Structure 1
Amino acid sequence: MNIDIELIQESKIDKVDFNNLAFGKVFSDHMLVCDFADGEWKTPKIMPYGPLSFEPSARVFHYGQAVFEGMKAYKDDNDDVFLFRPDENFHRLNKSGERLAMPPVPEEVFIEGLKKLLKIDNTWIKKGMGNSLYIRPFIIASEGAISASPAEEYKFIIICSPAQSYYAGEVRVIFAEKYSRSADGGVGFAKAAGNYAAQFYPTSLAHKEGYQQIVWTDANTHEYLEEAGTMNVFFRIGNKLITAPTNDRILDGITRKSIIQLAKDYNIEVEIRRVSVAEIKEAARDGELKEIFGSGTAAVINPIKGFKHQNETFELPDLNDSYASFFKDKLLKIQYNILEDKHSWRVKI
């Protein structure tokens, strides 16, 4: 595949404090940009990271045609670089785009373009457990027109941001009773930008009550638990792991499906079924609810220490043998080429 390459004259890497990184605030030297016009994707370009020019009438600003992915590159002790299940990100990006009437990105543009970008910005990927290069591929409608219809021009872009271990502190959540993340027949399963914007206001209300996140419930009845903030959510009742099935309201998380597979590998009982608010509250009262944790690319696994629903609050026990720490350890060791990769999830660059 042909890629036009324009390299920076001088790297900014020496100006970056890699010991004090705010997530998503610092970006590597280069980015990949590929335009869609006249019914086809053009030759991708790797160029210095920097501002792009858009018409004020670009449809992304008016009708929200924007989808994205989140993934990471990891460097092992031998300076080899790996991606984790990138084919899943590629397919999910195009599945999200299809729902928003956007053209699919060719596999060679996504995969081969990303590999080339990572080779050029290799020094931005730091060794050490917890260090990574966060990768943000996205598609936006770039055509300048404000008629309410799908655009005819798009940009596919990949930007990269060095990241450290993500720790959000102790997280307590509210089970949603009024607001909804998504609805049947909607775009909840897609990584559409608007999904995240719609969460900001109800989450800010939770912050005012002293809670860090919301566990979203089904839009129809608010009786069933579905996602935790921007993450898939797992519940441990006794020694059984439970998570909701994916549907058109719930994101098909790559970390989620990896945890499910690891649970099977290590003979941990896992159930994929609807999880009711009533069931979780009853298990908490009976002392059977051992853990709740979210899963996603940025944090990998984020334990939840307590929750509120209606006028009741519940605290979860501190465990020395938590499933959250077990799965996080296994996933990280696979990603950093420390543990055997039985399922061929690692892709070497």
Structure 2
Amino acid sequence: MTQQQPQEPIFDVHQLAHVEILSPKPDETVRFFKDLLGMQESARSGQSVYLRAYEDWYHHTLKVTEAKKPGLGHLAWRTSSQAALERRVRVLEGTGLGKGWSEGDLGHGAAYQFSSPDGHNVELLWDVDYWQAPPELRSPLLNRPQKRPLQGVPVRRLDHVNLMAANVTTDKDFWMEQLGFRLREHIVAPDGGEIAAWMSVSPLAHEIAIMGDQSGMQGRLHHICYWYGSPQHLSDLADVMREQDITIEAGPGKHGITQGMFMYVIEPGGNRVELFGDTGYMILDPDWKPIRWTEETLARGIIWHGSDLPAEFFLYATPLIEKVEELEAAGVLD
């Protein structure tokens, strides 16, 4: 395995700006995020709807695009400056994974597009539009971009994304060495190979996670996550999800890894969505040593409080593998 942290920290990538998910049932997916999670619709264009949570400052943090199959459209990360964007572009162009510049999209300016080693579509950007609340939604709390919504159990902000990859270490090293992510926690197999890794560019315990994918497919999405702040909201939301016929895959419960209170649900389009009930823990130490989980300690890492995760949690990702035979051929169901 390569070194676990860059020799000299890179601070060019600043935050997860937005995620695009694909849905074969876009109207139902949008209803899920708006009516149940209380998100605000920013705009519509073509086959896409742009959404944001009430403490997200940008034009949108979620783009839902109609497609034949569920999955990830792309991830977008905002850099710390225009100069930082240009520095990362020069590095990415040397990796062979760069795709070039786009003119931008609703809510942001020019973006440099590339792929991860496992084929996930990613872009870096600097110029963004800040959402402006209409008068009736302006909050007297000046450090909040809008009033707390009155529908559903409203999420507060985009938190993180979890991706599947055939080789966790290869993808982890790419995010660390080319983009400056810091490894926070990881699961290491007896042979030294990595099973999963959690990374961030901020004091959050993670903004991106990479999990091993045995399917043989590339570019799959495990889940996106929105944050509540109050664990009680997960209990409230569990009632809402059951009454609205939304599949609760696991939770509410607490992970040992990242220490987050969680609930996993499957939105109507087929993508997994995690709802976070608190912040977990913050990392303020500039010389943080990654937490290493092994077979002996993993049970406490996956679930600290609550029921065990179902086996499908480690297999299900979007796009789906539609045939059981394909799973068996990949050795996933052995």
The alignment's TM-score, normalised by the length of structure 1, stands at: 0.27
Task: Please say which structure displays the higher CA radius of gyration.
Answer: 1
The alignment's TM-score, normalised by the length of structure 2, stands at: 0.27
Q: Please identify which structure carries the higher helix content.
A: 1
